[in-house]
């Protein structure tokens, strides 16, 4: 009788042991996952798509628990759209780093991958920085450059600029390129009539290359004279209009100087036009 009872107890124990190991194998995704769990102490939910990623809460509020148990303490409540780092993903629970060094558990089904974030490990979630696209500037390689409304020299001329002007290159083509003046006029120019320049809008300045140049209130030799600048003097570049550079002098006066007696330097020491040879401003 005792022998039968002993055999029965052993059979029950063996059944429990087998059930336990079968459950562990299933939970860890196979025998290799079980060995990984034995080695590292962590379940092999590993290959999941959310592990090491920034996740975001969906339409419903998500409670973050102290343990992977809904009866444990709620340490934080995440609103829709909030993000956290997923440290480990399971079928039911995500282990989250909600702020640096603070961990908790939340229901997997309440989260999705957040867009615009790089994969992270133990770091606080950081958005992927978008590289700022660098603007290319061009300058006419001819004395006078017409800017057309379309890719045809029979279309309307929307603007005309002179040698030394600076244009923003919008798109480059084999025959025609689209450009924009610094005043905002857009149009098309013959591609061979422009060349790139190292113009830097943050450090451009105008230098007087004649004996002197008059500073005028408007872009015209007939407008009011505000003062003058001598050879070698510089002023801050503000734009250009009808053959004149708009500038600001050291004392804060804004006005216009003729392109014929000045040159535009773009921060690197390069000039956008040849030195003028005229003796005086008209």
Output the CA–CA distances (angstroms, integers) from residue 233 to 5, 10, 209, in the order listed: 109, 102, 8
Domain spans, the chain:
54-113, 136-197, 205-265
Token duo for residue 139: 């300058």
Topology classification of domain 136-197: SH3 type barrels. (2.30.30)
Residue 92 pLDDT class (50, 70, 90 cuts): confident
Lowest mean pLDDT among 96-105, 139-148, 175-184, 199-208: 199-208
**Is 70 exceeded by the pLDDT of residue 44?**
no
The per-residue pLDDT for range 103-158, each reduced to its tens digit, is 999 998 899 988 877 666 544 444 444 445 678 889 899 999 999 999 999 999 99
Chain-centroid distance, C-alpha 161: 32
The per-residue pLDDT for range 212-254, each reduced to its tens digit, is 999 999 999 999 999 999 988 889 888 888 889 999 998 899 9
The CATH number fitting domain 54-113, selected from 1.10.760.10, 2.30.30.40, 2.40.160.40, 3.40.50.10860: 2.30.30.40
Contact between residue 56 and residue 81 where contact means Cβ atoms under 8 Å apart:
yes
CATH class of 205-265: mainly beta
Chain-centroid distance, C-alpha 245: 32
Q: Do 54-113 and 205-265 share a fold?
A: yes
Structure confidence at residue 154 (pLDDT): 93
Say which residue, 27 or 102, is predicted with more confidence. 102
């Amino acid at each position: 009788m005792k022998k039968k009872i002993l055999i029965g107890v052993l059979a029950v124990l063996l059944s429990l042991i087998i059930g336990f190991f079968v459950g562990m194998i299933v939970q860890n995704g196979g025998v290799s996952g079980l060995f990984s769990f034995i080695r590292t102490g962590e379940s092999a939910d590993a290959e999941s798509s959310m592990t090491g990623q920034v996740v975001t809460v969906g339409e419903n509020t998500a409670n973050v628990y102290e343990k992977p148990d809904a009866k444990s303490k709620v340490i934080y409540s995440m609103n829709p759209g909030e993000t956290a780092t997923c440290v480990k993903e399971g079928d039911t629970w995500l282990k989250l780093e909600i702020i640096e060094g603070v961990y908790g558990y939340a229901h997997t089904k309440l989260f999705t991958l957040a867009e615009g974030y790089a994969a992270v490990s133990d770091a606080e979630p950081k958005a992927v920085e978008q590289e700022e696209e660098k603007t290319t500037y061009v300058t006419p390689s001819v004395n006078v450059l017409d800017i057309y409304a379309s890719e045809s020299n029979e279309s309307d001329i929307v603007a005309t600029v002179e040698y030394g002007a600076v244009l923003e290159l919008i798109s480059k083509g084999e025959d025609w390129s689209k450009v924009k003046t610094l005043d905002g006029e857009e149009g098309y120019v013959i591609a061979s009539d422009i060349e790139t320049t190292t113009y830097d809008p943050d450090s451009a300045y105008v230098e007087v290359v004649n004996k002197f140049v008059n500073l005028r209130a408007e872009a015209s030799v007939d407008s009011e004279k505000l003062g003058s600048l001598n050879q070698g003097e510089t002023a801050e570049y503000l734009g250009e209009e009808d053959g004149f550079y708009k500038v600001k002098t050291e004392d804060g006066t804004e006005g216009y100087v003729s392109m014929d007696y000045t040159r535009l330097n773009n921060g690197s020491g390069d000039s956008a036009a040849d030195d003028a040879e005229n003796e005086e401003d008209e």
